[in-house]
Each structure stands twice: as C-alpha cells, then as structure tokens.
C-alpha cells in the first residue's frame, strides 16, 4: 500500500492541473467575449459543474484567476502570432509575418470574442495593480516584437536606417487595431485592406534592396519573399 502512495499523489496532482486548465480555459472564453469583469467564481463553478469551494481551492481569489487567464491569453496569442512569425526569415519578411498573423488570428477567431488584449487594455490602462500591470506587460511585449523586427530589417539593409523603429511599431499596431475595429462594425474587407495598408507602409520604409515591383500587391510581396528566401 505504501508503494502506491506516490502514484496516487501524482495522479492527484495531474487531476488538479487538468482541472485548473479547464477553469482557465473557460475563463478565457468568457473574458474574450465579455471582459475580465465578467469572471466570477460562482459563474465559472456553474459553467463547469463544480462547487464554489472546489473552484476556490484552485485560485483562492478572483485576482489570481484573472492573472492566470491573462497568462493563458498571452500564451494563445504568442502561439498564433509571435511564434508563427518566427518561421519567417529575419528582416522585413518577419515584420510582415507579425502583422499578417495578427490579422489572421482575428480572422480565425483565435479568441472567442473580440481581441482579448485590446479590450482588456482599454479597460485597465489607467488603473494600477497586478492585473493592469500584467496587461500592459503583454502589450509592451507585442510592440517590442514589432520594434525588434524593424531593427532587424534595418540591420539587413531592407528598411531605411533613418526610420524610427519605435514609431514604426506604433504605426503598424495602429493599422492593425484600427482594422480590427472596422472589422467588428461590419466591414468584411477591413482585414484585407489592412494588409494592403501594411504593405504600403513597408514600401515607404524599404530601401532599394527590395524592388518596387514587390510592393505592387500583397500577392507580389508574398511571391517576392518566397523566392528570395528559398
């Protein structure tokens, strides 16, 4: 009997981890559709067929639950956007991929509702505390990824060195968020137009290293990148 104790303890830990993942998964769906404020221990317990005390045992507070939900959202976003873009070569191709995958994660409704961090950012931007700090941190990570890609492209001679990398990152992010808003109000062409707008921005920054014909359309640019990096 004593030899079985470690296995039983291990099974309990695995079960606890699985339950926690299920709780956070459901919390993310609710928060993506209705905001973090919609999360309550009682609602989640009812949705998952658990007792409040049983669910409370996993998180102890709403704040802990919110932080876990934000962390899950960061992981989901990174997998769909940042990590997916890493398969692209460094430089202007990586910068394009970051923007492309950002738009695609909206198209494919990676989050159950509107873009998780955009809504959460506006909800908590001017507040203080662990939850707003975690959300601002995720936003900074994304802007830093764009800025880093701009600098890599400059280092490779694909983007003019006098371009301000930080401002370019903000401008590209503005195009993406603006397109998402337009998409949400019913413009079904908004995300396609956003890709064209991103391409136009890249054209305005590109050096002669990249032929102008590559910027004639999104299709031409993709073909150029594919041919260049074979």
CATH code for the domain of 136:
1.10.357.10
Question: Would you say 166 and 105 are in contact if contact means Cβ atoms under 8 Å apart?
Answer: no
For position 97, what pLDDT does the model report?
Answer: 97
- Give the CA diameter of the chain: 75
The verdict on residue 142 lying in a domain is yes
Query: Does 219 fall in a domain?
Result: yes
Domain assignment present for residue 137? The answer is yes
CA nearest to 124, candidates 181, 70, 56, 177: 70
Q: What is the pLDDT of residues 41-83, one digit of tens each?
A: 889 989 999 888 888 888 878 889 999 999 999 999 999 999 9
User: Is pLDDT at 99 greater than 90 in this prediction?
Assistant: yes
Is 194 among the domain residues? yes
pLDDT band at 1 (very low <50, low <70, confident <90, very high): very low
What's the number of domains the chain is made of?
1
Domain that holds residue 129: 63-228
Which pLDDT does position 191 carry in this prediction? 95
Each residue's pLDDT tens digit, 183-195: 988 999 999 999 9
Residue 130 lies in a domain: yes
Among 83-92, 112-121, 131-140, 148-157, where is mean pLDDT lowest?
112-121
């Amino acid at each position: 009997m004593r030899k079985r104790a470690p296995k039983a303890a291990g099974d309990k830990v695995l079960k606890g981890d699985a339950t926690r993942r299920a709780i956070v998964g459901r919390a993310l769906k609710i928060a993506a559709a209705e905001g973090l404020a919609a999360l309550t221990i009682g609602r989640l317990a009812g949705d998952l067929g658990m007792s409040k005390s049983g669910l409370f045992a996993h998180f102890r507070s709403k704040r802990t639950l919110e932080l876990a939900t934000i962390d899950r959202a960061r992981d989901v976003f990174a997998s769909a956007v940042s990590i997916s873009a890493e398969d692209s070569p460094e430089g202007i191709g990586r910068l394009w991929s970051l923007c492309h995958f950002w738009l695609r994660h909206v198209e494919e409704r990676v989050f159950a509702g509107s873009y998780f961090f955009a809504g959460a950012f506006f909800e908590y931007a001017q507040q203080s505390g662990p939850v707003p700090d975690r959300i601002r941190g995720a936003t900074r990570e994304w802007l830093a990824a764009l800025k880093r890609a701009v600098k890599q492209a400059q280092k490779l001679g694909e983007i003019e060195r006098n371009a301000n990398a930080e401002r370019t990152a903000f401008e590209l992010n503005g195009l993406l968020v603006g397109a998402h808003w337009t998409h949400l109000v019913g413009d079904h062409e908004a995300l396609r137009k956003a890709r064209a707008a991103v391409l136009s921005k890249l054209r305005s920054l590109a050096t002669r290293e990249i032929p102008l014909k590559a910027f004639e359309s999104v299709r031409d640019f993709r073909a150029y990148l594919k041919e260049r990096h074979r």
